[in-house]
Amino acid sequence: MSNTTETKNAPYKPTSPNSKLDFESVWEYAPAPQSSDFVDIKEQYDLYIGGKFVKPSKGRYFKSTNPATEEVITEFAEATQKDVDKAVKTARKAFEGEWSQISAKERGKYMYRIARLLQERAREFAVLESMDGGKPIRESRDIDIPLVAAYFFYYAGWADKLEYAFPGKKPKPLGVCGQIIPWNFPLLMLSWKIAPALACGNTVVLKPAETTSLTALKFAELVKDAGVPDGVVNIITGAGQTGAELVNHKDVNKIAFTGSTSVGKIIQKSLAGTDKKYTLELGGKGALIIFEDAPIDQAVEGIINAIYFNQGHVCCAGSRLLVQEGVADKVINKLKDRLETLIVGDPLDKNTDIGAINSKEQFETINKYLELGVDEGADVYQSKCKVPENGYFIRPTLFTNVSQSNRVVQEEIFGPVLTVQTFRTADEAIEKANNTPYGLASGIWTDKGSKIFQMGSGMRSGVVWANTFNKFDPTSPFGGYKESGVGREGGLHGLAAYTKI
């Protein structure tokens, strides 16, 4: 090992010429837009408290734009301290009243009903998710919405079996749960929060992200239609200040937060010294480790799924590629060719692979990192694809000639930007993969099973995917090491986080 350490961090530069393949096609795909005529978006949405849509106490609203067109699509109410207090009191009343009298089996029934109602309106939710958040319809239709239903179905099944989930214990609900979710998977993150909370008999006050509140408010309609007692689910909208009011409210028993590590740290500080339970699911800078013996074409596809899924707005994205030196040129060249076939554009077009960046703010953040990478001396490669003139779009990007000390390698960019480094030995790969304050998810590609287990046990990473990436399942716990979070969501672990046992 010692003789390899000297040049371990030397930046890697690919040497092969660019590919000879030509994707400037003689056959272009015509636009194939998903119809959005059938969805109904109101001009203004109020807060959902106690089973009713109510006006915000200060009467303030903020605009929500479609990031693909920069057009305002609706307005959401801004919940202030008084509204948050009202929502928490309503949730408390429901928790101590009707909800606690309902049998576990009935609780499960409400959840099954929510899941089925969602499936019936799946296409509508998919379209709204894409319009409000910018993600391609292929993903919202085939991944987000089916997973939301799956999480509700899964946790519905546990509602009357909690004593079997935790044998020998008498699990009790925690009470009122304050839940704050991010803008990258709006409805999916809602399901990760609300489904286990309801299964265990809690009531919730949920605040969606300010840029993507639409599907959460539409979800309130499902809750109403399912006949869930008033006050069990409350949805309040607003920005960071609203979230802070919720976190600091005295009568909340648990805070569940998914979002950035910097906000997570503030929440953790403000919860210190209280008896509130909390789970935090924060940022990441996941490594993708590709060995020489990997199935290369499938590994390249894995990279695409790891970093260009949902515009790279994925906390568990694989944003650092670590490739073994012997296959580095090959992988990089194949990756560049593959980038040329990614279609960037209208999120509602069924052929779009990469949609719009969620907000102007995030668009500027990513662009800042693109400039920073170049300033730091990295080589940048972007696909030549067309991008729409309006809206926030960024071409899929690769940075080569970078090392551990580059900021683009260290910091979470949360965009379609991949950095590429090389390694020679498995130990070196583990060292580089772990050399980050984060530890949420990573991936390994090799044809050798034993290597997967050897690597997996050395990685400080909440999830390690082998020969695949970004696969989600309600039965599987998800969460981070180090600054990527506290606690787990999903599976039995996710259930335990909403019970007193």
Query: What tokens appear for 76 in the block?
Result: 């959401």
Is 386 a residue that touches other proteins (CB under 8 A)?
Answer: no
Is 272 a residue that touches other proteins (CB under 8 A)?
Answer: no
Is 468 a residue that touches other proteins (CB under 8 A)?
Answer: yes
CB of 121 to other proteins, least distance (A): 21
Are 429 and 322 spatial neighbours (Cβ–Cβ below 8 Å)?
A: yes
The CA angle 259-264-267, to the nearest 5 degrees, is: 125
Is 121 a residue that touches other proteins (CB under 8 A)?
Answer: no
Which of the following is catalytic: 315, 316, 385, 489? 315
Distance in angstroms (rounded) separating the CA atoms of residues 359 and 275: 35
What's CA 261's distance to the chain center, in Å? 13
Query: What tokens appear for 344 in the block?
Result: 């960037």
- Helical (H) or strand (E) element with 264: helix 261-271
Is 22 a residue that touches other proteins (CB under 8 A)?
Answer: yes
Q: Determine phi and psi for 363, rounding to 5 degrees.
A: -60, -45
Is 26 a residue that touches other proteins (CB under 8 A)?
Answer: yes
CB of 364 to other proteins, least distance (A): 31
**x/- letters, 311..350, toward other proteins (CB under 8 A):** -------------------x--x-------x--------x
Query: What tokens appear for 407 in the block?
Result: 């900021």
CB of 382 to other proteins, least distance (A): 18
Is 472 a residue that touches other proteins (CB under 8 A)?
Answer: no
**x/- letters, 364..383, toward other proteins (CB under 8 A):** --------------------
315 catalytic, yes or no?
Answer: yes
Distance in angstroms (rounded) separating the CA atoms of residues 288 and 302: 9
Q: Which stretch binds other proteins (CB under 8 A): 27-35, 53-61, 191-199, 277-285?
A: 27-35
78 catalytic, yes or no?
Answer: no
- Helical (H) or strand (E) element with 452: helix 449-458
Q: Which stretch binds other proteins (CB under 8 A): 28-36, 75-83, 243-251, 404-412?
A: 28-36
CB of 320 to other proteins, least distance (A): 21
Is 449 a residue that touches other proteins (CB under 8 A)?
Answer: no
Q: Where are the alpha helices (DSSP H) in 121-207?
A: 122-133, 137-139, 145-158, 162-165, 186-199
Is 473 a residue that touches other proteins (CB under 8 A)?
Answer: no
Distance in angstroms (rounded) separating the CA atoms of residues 378 and 383: 16
Distance in angstroms (rounded) separating the CA atoms of residues 244 and 461: 29
Distance in angstroms (rounded) separating the CA atoms of residues 61 and 35: 28
Is 301 a residue that touches other proteins (CB under 8 A)?
Answer: yes
HSE on the CB side for 338, CA within 13 Å?
A: 21
Q: Which stretch binds other proteins (CB under 8 A): 25-33, 195-203, 248-256, 373-381?
A: 25-33
Is 135 a residue that touches other proteins (CB under 8 A)?
Answer: no
**Which residues contact residue 5 at a Cβ distance below 8 angstroms, ignoring those fewer than 6 apart?**
none
| One residue of 6, 28, 37, 40 binding other proteins per CB under 8 A | 28
Is 18 a residue that touches other proteins (CB under 8 A)?
Answer: no
| One residue of 98, 124, 293, 431 binding other proteins per CB under 8 A | 293
Is 298 a residue that touches other proteins (CB under 8 A)?
Answer: yes
Are 249 and 269 spatial neighbours (Cβ–Cβ below 8 Å)?
A: no
Strands 318-324 and 233-235: unpaired
The catalytic residue positions are 281, 315
Binding site for other proteins (CB under 8 A): 19-32, 138, 142, 293-295, 297-299, 301-302, 330, 333, 341, 350-351, 447, 467-468
